[in-house]
Amino acid sequence: MAHFKELIVWQKSINLVTEIYRITEKFPSNEIYGLTSQLRRASVSVPSNIAEGNTRRSKADYLQFLRIARGSCSEIETQIIISKNLGFIDDNIFETLSFNIIEISKMLNGLINSLKDSNPTT
């Protein structure tokens, strides 16, 4: 099993976190404890859960952490829709973030499926 830093999905999710932090710096200051905080926490959750699951001793634990990471992608997707609706991000940023989140989610699905397929009882 590859170390988490070698996983492309982990690398892409680290890049997503960096981008989310840069984008949310421009959000209104009254959102610091609202949408800014929520987006940042959800984005950090993705690579963190990939890393933690990867270092667990059981495949079942790894799968659970990957599912949590995938759930965090859905949170981010929801929160960027809200951010766009409120005018905090423009269409170009929204499209780029959406593409990246969907790509990461698909990669997580692939990793989950490959782990499940290697042991049908998991």
User: What contacts 38, CB < 8 A, 6 or more positions away?
Assistant: 75, 79
Please state, in angstroms and rounded to a whole number, the distance separating the CA atoms of residues 74 and 56. 24
The amino acid at 24: T
Q: Is the pLDDT of residue 64 over 50?
A: yes
Q: List Cα–Cα distances, 7 to 36, 50, 62, 93, 107, in angstroms.
A: 27, 9, 14, 25, 10
**To 10 degrees, the CA torsion angle through 96, 88, 38, 33?**
160
The domains of the chain, with CATH numbers, are: 4-117 (1.20.1440.60)
Q: What does the pLDDT look like over 67-99, one tens digit per residue?
A: 999 999 999 999 999 999 999 999 999 999 999
Q: Is the pLDDT of residue 108 over 60?
A: yes
pLDDT of residue 119: 61
Q: What does the pLDDT look like over 8-40, one tens digit per residue?
A: 999 999 999 999 999 999 999 999 999 999 999
| Section 93-120 average pLDDT | 93
Q: Is the pLDDT of residue 122 over 50?
A: no
Please state, in angstroms and rounded to a whole number, the distance separating the CA atoms of residues 63 and 17. 22
